[in-house]
Each structure stands twice: as structure tokens, then as C-alpha cells.
């Protein structure tokens, strides 16, 4: 447990610095939690891809192609944003 600074006896600049430190710690924790969530989604997608997206290779039809096209378009939006490409290019 972290003790809080007394606002009556602590200089204002120290209070602001402590608040900023706590805010950075909270942001770091939230970032790492979201990164772990993304990593889990990517691992699941990788495993699904390795299993041909649950499609048997001898039974693939145009619906399967359409499903993959949809997945690819969603992933392209993400990669375009992450790498400043496509509509996100500067």
C-alpha cells in the first residue's frame, strides 16, 4: 500500500509530481493489460489459421473465401492504422 501525501503539509509541486507518477503507473498497467489481451487474440488467430480456419481443405467453398476476405479486410484496417498505411498514411 502506498501512503498518500498530506495536502496540507506537502508542497503543491510534490503533490502534482506524485499524482503524475500514480497516473503513469495506472496508464502502464492498463497498457500492459490491453497488450496481453491483443497478444491472446493474435495467438488464437494464429492457431485458427494453422487449422485452415476450421475449413477442411477438400470442402472449401466460396463462403469460406468470403469469410476469409472479411477477416482480411478487418485485419488490414488494423495494420493500416498501426503502420500508417492505406487511408492512415501521412
Give the up-direction half-sphere exposure of residue 89: CA atoms within 13 A in the CB hemisphere: 4
- pLDDT of 1: 55
Residue whose C-alpha cell is 494464429: 46
More confident residue, 8 or 56: 56
**What would the grid cell of residue 89 be?**
498514411
| pLDDT tens-digit readout, 2-33 | 577 777 777 888 888 888 999 999 999 999 99
DSSP for 19-42, please give it.
Answer: HHHHHHHHHHHHHHHHHHHHHHHH
**pLDDT, mean over the chain:** 92
Please, which residues have CB within 8 angstroms of residue 64's CB and are 6 or more apart in sequence?
Answer: 53, 55
Flag whether pLDDT at 86 surpasses 60: yes
Q: How far apart are CA 51 and CA 45, in angstroms?
A: 10
Amino acid at each position: 500500500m502506498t501512503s498518500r501525501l498530506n495536502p496540507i503539509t506537502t508542497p503543491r509541486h510534490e503533490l502534482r509530481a506524485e499524482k503524475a507518477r500514480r497516473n503513469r503507473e495506472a496508464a502502464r498497467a492498463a497498457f500492459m493489460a490491453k497488450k496481453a489481451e491483443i497478444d491472446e487474440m493474435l495467438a488464437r488467430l494464429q492457431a485458427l489459421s494453422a487449422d485452415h480456419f476450421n475449413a477442411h481443405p477438400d470442402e472449401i467453398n466460396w463462403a469460406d473465401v468470403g469469410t476469409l476476405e472479411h477477416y482480411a479486410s478487418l485485419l488490414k484496417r488494423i495494420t493500416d492504422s498501426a503502420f500508417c498505411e492505406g487511408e492512415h498514411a501521412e
